[in-house]
Homo-oligomer: A and B are copies of this chain.
Amino acid sequence: MIQKQFVVNGVPRNIFVDQEATLAKVLREQLHLLGTKVGCGEGMCGACNVILDGKLVRSCVIKMKRVDEGAQILTIEGIGTPSDLHPIQRAWIKHGGAQCGYCTPGFIVSAKALLDENKSPTREQVRDWFQSHRNACRCTGYIPLVDAVMEAAKALRGEIKPEELDYKLPADGHIWGIDSRYPRPTSVAKVTGTIKYGGDIALELPPNKLYLALVQAKVSHANIKGIDISAAEAMPGVFKVVTHKDIKGNNRINGVAFPTNKGDGKERPILCDTKVFQYGDAIAVVCASTEAEAKAAAEAVKVDLEVLPAYLSIPAAKAADAIEIHPGTPNVYYYQYLRKGEETKPIFDNPEVVVAEDSLITSRTPHMPLEPDCAFGFMHDDGAVIVHSKSIGVHLHKIMIQEGLGLADDKLHLVSNPMGGTFGYKFSPTNEAIVGACVLATGRPCYLVFNYHQQMQYTGKRSPFYGTIRLAADKSGKILAMETDYDVDHGPYCEFGDLLTVRGVQFMGAAYDIPNIRGEGRTVCTNHAWGSAFRGYGGTQAQFMTEIVADELAVKLGMDPWEFRHKNALRPPGTNPSGQVLDSYSYVEMLEAIKPKYDEALKKAKAESTATHKKGVGLAAGSYGCGLDGPDSSNAYVELNADGTITVCTAWEDHGQGADMGAVGTAHQSLRPLNIAPDKLKFTWADTRNPVSGPAGGSRSQVMTGGAIRVACEAMLKGLAKPSGGYYTYEEAKAANVPTKYDGTFSVPGVPLDANGQGSPFMVYMYGVCMAEVTVELATGKTKVDKITFNIDIGKVNNRMIVDGQLWGGVAQAIGLALSEDFEDIDKHKTMIGGGFPYIKDIPDNIELQYFENPREHGVHGAAGVGEIPLCVPHPAIANAIYNATGARVTRIPALPERVLEAIKNKA
């Protein structure tokens, strides 16, 4: 240890530190400046940015020995406070720069450093700055961040007043609709770093809290012969080492498997008992006073393993000599069929038809939220175990872990923390049961915060599809039939693996009128990372595969890809692959709107292509459903409080997508007759003690929970209406004995797929048509996306700023999905950079969005969802643009330079 004197946010501080400690840890754990976030922890994301002696640094990699005596340190807390926002913070709010908000302090500190040295940067200079300082954002697609910096710079130059950046309510007081840019209610807390994420709250737990260090498998498949915790338990600071023996329930996560699943869905242990199924599996947990003590003791736990062959791919797991990963359950454990229209074999066998066929592989995409997975729990005085995590399905997860922990219904509650992004991985429980088990075993508050390698290696991933698609068309280009055959590598745990396989048949070729389809999908158990939800879940993989083959078919037909799509786009009375009539037939409208831009883009690409750099234009169309499969419902209540505020209570989890704004915006629109100020509406964080709203996945929340809020608000309007006109105040309602709390339930009559894959699984869909413009460097195969033009039909737009942000961010993820992101190599891909995280210069500053506001019957105030659609369409458009540029067809994503290069060579 050493002592140094620093000036932190203008205040001199004596600091006593381990020289090897990082500045980020010292700021957070010693000085409690929790606005500085730790994302990757290895200098790849900039969430931890601070200004050190005038220079922007990533504090997670600055060791204290490198911080000079007398150093001046500026953190987000020193830039502005909720009551005194800095112009950069005001601009960040205005432009919706904070979605999950986890990268926000780091970006704002970075922007401050930039504007300190360059008062008038160009947009490209801003982008260069964020690129060179590795400021990573996973939510916004970076565009609103550059907008915010440009406008903050104006304010700092005195060209506009800082107050001009603040939101002004329109005269009629509405905040709902495509003209609304009402900032999300959490934005002030996010731009000031005062919102507390799970890892922040963990540090604020009472002093008797215990840090949890996992003992994790370093092999992918093994039998466990013994676990020896004796040495670890004797180490300093160790309160207890928890193993499966301490778990009172059945020690299994309930994967809520379909009845037709060959497994029972209960194959994932909370803590491994008999076997290790994948790299990183948790075998024991050291509960200790400090992180260092817990980690040291975790190293001392001895695990005796009999290593088994690891099946890290579908072919390996399906091989004849492969043993059953879960003894008693075949490695191929679920089958999904699609039979629509006539038999397809005769059609394909007909020599008159033109057939395109290809085999395609999608990636094991890592979600790469800025915030690594974290949770904490404690024993409530009412006798219940409370676990706070990044759960985006608190009620669902409670069901999934309750039996494993052996807890009665009133003895377990799950709560969602403010989260630094999940993008779906938290549709599966991760740490909840482990934390719950440790709380039960120790009686102490416990917290578990993953480092980024753990985030990458021990949370679910987007499951790869391996498959073959065949499309047949007549000579005019009209699609006659489709055949699909695919395997889904879902890793060792089935959780929703069956559902994901269903998504394949629902969305393969979903944009087109395909009268005859035969398809078969299979879910395969492997020893690679377990599959979890990810934006566009299934639709992403399905539509990549069919949009590539559709493009190939157009080529074979000698048709322009736009012409081919326009000809085949679903029109009334055509039905989607599930045989369902669409809730909005907008493909044609969107395709036609994109046509002039497409023609222009083609011309431009041709003109700008050089001998070394080829430009190309690609198209894709697609859709995704809003909801769970089949019937779905959600619940909410609204309650008028004594202070005149109204609580909008749901379990709508906010993983950065904007549940706060969704709840407040929906309620505000539904309560317009009350003429209440929007800041009088209070949203709630999701909690199993709130009404059951269902998980925040599959773009269902705005539709379903928004619907429940609307119903509750309508009941409130009715209930509070005075016979004489107007509405009761709280006092008046109490005096008149009129209820102040109103429940709302909203249901949709979805019909799940039958044995032939036919049904009406979703009552609301989103649709999109995307055009990608790319440049491919022929020598390297490196692809750059120059522009994305995205036409979208998500029904009525509820808030332009939120929806733009969701789409820009989704497109950015689609670019990463198309070009760089993967988690195939457990070691190489365990970091953000290794995993192919897209930085700002990977994302074009030009993402053009056009909305086609066809109101939805089942959408609240006409709105559908939004989150999944950008992950369903742009990535095949990019792959098709690579083909357009080079003539080389990429059939596996990510289209890494080496794959593109190989495709170019194969073509030659």
Contacts and interface: CB of A to CB of B under 8 A. Distances in A.
A30 B82 contact: no
Given A1-B378, A289-B289, A15 B204 contact: yes
Contact of A10 (B21, B83, B376, B380): B83
B239 A1 contact: no
A653 to B, nearest CB: 15
Interface string A14-26: 1111110100001
28 contacts: A1-B379, A1-B380, A1-B381, A1-B445, A2-B381, A3-B380, A3-B386, A11-B189, A11-B194, A13-B196, A16-B204, A16-B206, A16-B376, A16-B445, A17-B206, A18-B206, A29-B206, A29-B207, A30-B205, A30-B206, A30-B207, A31-B204, A32-B204, A207-B290, A207-B292, A208-B290, A289-B289, A289-B290
Given A16-B201, A16-B206, A206-B30, A84 B84 contact: yes
Contacts of A292: 207-208
A236 interface: yes
A637 to B, nearest CB: 17
A10 B386 contact: no
Interface in A648-672: none
A381 B207 contact: no
Interface string A193-218: 01010000100111110000000000
Most chain B CB neighbours (cut-off 10 Å) among A13, A31, A194, A237: A237
A293 interface: yes
A83 B84 CA distance: 12
Interface in A4-44: 10-19, 21, 26, 29-32
B205 A16 contact: yes
Contacts of A2: 380-381
A680 to B, nearest CB: 14
A291 interface: yes
Interface in A167-203: 189, 192, 194, 196, 201
Query: What are the nearest 6 A-B pairs in CB distance?
Result: A32-B32, A289-B289, A207-B290, A1-B378, A30-B204, A11-B194
A381 B381 CA distance: 44
Contacts of A239: 236-237
A431 B392 CA distance: 51
Nearest to A15: B204
Nearest to A29: B207
A204 B16 CA distance: 8
Interface in A236-251: 236-237, 239
Contacts of A16: 201, 204-206, 376, 378, 445
A82 to B, nearest CB: 6
A2 to B, nearest CB: 6
Contacts of A82: 10-11
Contacts of A15: 204
A447 to B, nearest CB: 10
B289 A237 contact: yes
Interface residues of A, number: 48
A69 to B, nearest CB: 12
A437 to B, nearest CB: 17
A11 B196 CA distance: 11
A195 to B, nearest CB: 9
A201 B1 CA distance: 14
Given A1-B379, A207-B290, 7 more contacts: A3-B386, A11-B192, A11-B194, A16-B201, A32-B204, A207-B291, A289-B289
A358 to B, nearest CB: 51
Nearest to A8: B194
A378 B10 CA distance: 27
Contacts of A386: 3
A731 to B, nearest CB: 19
A11 to B, nearest CB: 5
Contacts of A376: 16
Nearest to A84: B84
Interface in A842-886: none
Contacts of A290: 207-208, 289
Most chain B CB neighbours (cut-off 10 Å) among A17, A21, A204, A445: A204
Nearest to A293: B208
A204 B1 CA distance: 13
A239 B289 CA distance: 11
Given A84-B84, A207-B292, A12 B189 contact: yes
Interface in A287-326: 289-293
Interface in A410-458: 445
Interface string A379-392: 11100001000000
Interface string A791-829: 000000000000000000000000000000000000000
A783 to B, nearest CB: 44
A14 B201 contact: yes
Nearest to A239: B236
A75 to B, nearest CB: 14
A211 B636 CA distance: 47
A410 to B, nearest CB: 16
Nearest to A32: B32
A236 B206 CA distance: 16
B189 A1 contact: no
Interface string A663-704: 000000000000000000000010000000000000000000
A386 B239 CA distance: 29
A315 B494 CA distance: 85
A19 B381 contact: yes
Interface string A86-98: 0000000000000
Nearest to A2: B381
Most chain B CB neighbours (cut-off 10 Å) among A21, A26, A30, A192: A30
Contacts of A83: 10
Nearest to A236: B239
A698 B179 CA distance: 74
Contacts of A206: 1, 16-18, 21, 26, 29-30
A347 B19 CA distance: 73
Contacts of A207: 29-30, 290-292
A6 to B, nearest CB: 12
A14 B445 contact: no
A294 to B, nearest CB: 11
Contacts of A381: 1-2, 19
Interface string A754-769: 0000000000000000
A236 B239 CA distance: 6
A381 B10 CA distance: 28
A14 B289 contact: no
A18 B82 CA distance: 28
